[in-house]
């Protein structure tokens, strides 16, 4: 399963948030691409951008591009939370300012086991973090055609070796390669879903 998790992280070294808060601006970080050295922020402001604001941000060491009159693309040295997240194995969807020195990240995790490991990594790096909320995202399910092929394969005894792929393809009126690909994709979705449900991430099972 894929989880969308809302994490509150406390840190005081975010140059983007500190610069904007110093001006008492209302803003939201629509999206953030975290990195070990540099993180990029898509920032929505509550008022139009002006030259004084741009000059101020640039004097504070921020690289700024104007997207539209209220939206900025800002690159800055990564704060402690962004650095830690870049190594935590989570996908960051967005971030928004919390209270005082906190930021609330929306992240995606491939299951609860990976989330727990990532939170331990964040805390061991010195970032104070807590889970505010989480939700399970719907996973892509087999298509109607894929299920049809899988069901027929099961009923005809394909998995018990009572019929072979050639006989199954003939019954469906499809080529052997088409049926093979349909079965492969369907089984991959089902097996992936099973592993995620029991808390096994895919990369953990791959041979090194």
pLDDT in tens, 12-44: 888 998 898 888 888 888 888 888 899 999 899
Summarize the confidence of residues 68-81 as an average pLDDT.
91
Q: Do residue 116 and residue 150 come from a single domain?
A: no
95 and 115 belong to one structural domain: yes
pLDDT at 189: 80
Q: Which domain holds residue 96?
A: 2-137
Residues 27 and 127 in one domain: yes
Do both 120 and 189 map to the same domain?
no
Query: pLDDT band at residue 208, thresholds of 50, 70 and 90?
Result: very low
* CA-CA-CA-CA torsion sign (70, 93, 135, 185): positive
Same domain, 93 and 175: no
Judge if 35 and 132 occupy the same domain. Answer: yes
Closest CA to 170 of 182, 160, 162, 178: 178
pLDDT value, residue 204 = 46
Query: Which of 59-68, 88-97, 108-117, 143-152 shows the lowest mean pLDDT across its residues?
Result: 88-97
Answer with the residue of higher pLDDT: 138 or 201. 138
| Residue that finishes a domain, picked among 86, 113, 137 | 137
pLDDT at 66: 94
**pTM check: above 0.85:** no
The DSSP call for residue 140 is P
| Cβ atoms 124, 87 nearer than 8 A | no
DSSP SS3 for 203 = helix
- Banded model confidence at residue 167, pLDDT cuts 50, 70, 90: very high
Residues 99 and 187 grouped into a single domain = no
**Predicted local confidence at residue 96, as pLDDT:** 77
Task: Answer with the one of 97, 114, 137 that is the final residue of a domain.
Answer: 137
Residues 98 and 197 in one domain: no
Domain count, the chain: 2
How high does pLDDT run on average in the chain? Answer: 84
What is the mean pLDDT of the segment spanning 150-171?
88
Q: What percent of the chain has pLDDT over 90?
A: 30
Whether 205 shows a pLDDT value over 50: the answer reads no
Q: Quick check: helix, strand or coil at residue 119?
A: helix
Examine the domain organization and report whether 120 and 171 are in the same domain. Answer: no
Mean pLDDT along residues 67-89: 89
Whether the CB-CB separation of 201 and 113 falls below 8 Å is answered with yes
Do residues 60 and 128 both lie within one domain? yes
Domain boundary residue, one of 137, 170, 186: 137
Contact in structure between 203 and 173 (CB atoms under 8 Å): no
Q: What is the DSSP string of 86-98?
A: HTTT-EEEEEEE-
Residues 102 and 196 in one domain: no
Are 110 and 162 contained in the same domain? no
């Amino acid at each position: 399963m894929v989880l969308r998790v809302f994490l509150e992280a406390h840190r005081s070294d975010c140059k983007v948030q500190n610069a904007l808060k110093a001006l008492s601006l209302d803003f939201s970080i629509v999206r953030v691409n975290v990195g070990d050295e540099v993180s990029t922020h898509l920032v929505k402001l509550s008022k139009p951008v002006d030259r004084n604001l741009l000059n101020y941000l640039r004097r504070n060491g921020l690289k700024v591009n104007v997207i539209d009159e209220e939206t900025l693309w800002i690159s800055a040295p990564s704060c402690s939370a962004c650095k830690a997240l870049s190594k935590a194995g989570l996908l960051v969807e967005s971030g928004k300012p919390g209270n005082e020195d906190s930021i609330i990240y929306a992240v995606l995790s491939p299951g609860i086991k990976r989330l727990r490991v990532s939170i331990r990594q964040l805390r061991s790096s010195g970032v104070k973090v807590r889970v505010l909320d989480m939700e399970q995202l719907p996973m892509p399910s087999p298509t109607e055609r894929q299920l049809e092929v899988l069901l027929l394969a099961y009923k005809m005894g394909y998995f018990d070796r009572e019929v072979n792929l050639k006989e199954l393809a003939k019954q469906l009126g499809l080529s052997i390669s088409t049926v093979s690909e349909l079965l492969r994709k369907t089984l991959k979705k089902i097996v992936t879903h099973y592993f995620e449900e029991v808390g096994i991430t895919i990369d953990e099972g791959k041979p090194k």
